[in-house]
């Protein structure tokens, strides 16, 4: 189900999402960059890999390595290379909506035990 972000154009919303400084603001739980990443100077772009620690339930640390597979003016897709799941594909899409922008966030994943799910 898309979320309507009022008074923002699709370009404004996707630009916000692609700025590394905003990554902790759009991630649902606490994250910590790993390695030499400076989120203040990070722009999400296709082919870029980065590592972070995701604090599940704000308690349990889980390290992830992801790659940005696609980026354009209407969407971007990241996929897990290494982490707690067998597979994880995360699509972020924007489209014009009445009074603002419709933002859709969809994750498809396979748990280590082999369970396949779409969110």
Q: Which domains does the chain have, with CATH numbers?
A: 3-118 (3.30.530.20)
- Mean pLDDT of all residues in 70-82: 97
Q: pTM to 2 decimals?
A: 0.87
Of 60, 56, 52, 54, nearest to 35 by C-alpha is: 52
Mean of all residue pLDDT scores within the chain: 91
Residues with Cβ within 8 Å of residue 28, at least 6 apart in sequence: none
Of 70, 53, 51, nearest to 62 by C-alpha is: 53
pLDDT tens for 9-52 read 999 999 999 999 998 888 888 888 899 888 888 899 999 999 99
């Amino acid at each position: 189900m898309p979320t309507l972000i009022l008074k923002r154009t699709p370009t404004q919303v996707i630009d916000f999402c692609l700025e590394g400084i905003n990554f902790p603001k759009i991630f649902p739980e606490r994250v910590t960059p790993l390695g030499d990443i400076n989120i203040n100077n990070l722009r999400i772009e296709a082919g870029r890999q980065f590592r972070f620690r995701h604090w599940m339930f704000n308690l349990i640390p889980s390290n992830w390595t992801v790659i940005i597979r696609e980026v354009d003016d209407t969407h971007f897709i990241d996929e897990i290379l290494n982490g707690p799941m067998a597979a994880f594909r995360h699509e972020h899409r924007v489209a014009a909506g009445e009074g603002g922008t419709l933002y859709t966030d969809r994750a498809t994943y396979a748990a280590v035990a082999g369970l396949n799910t779409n969110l």
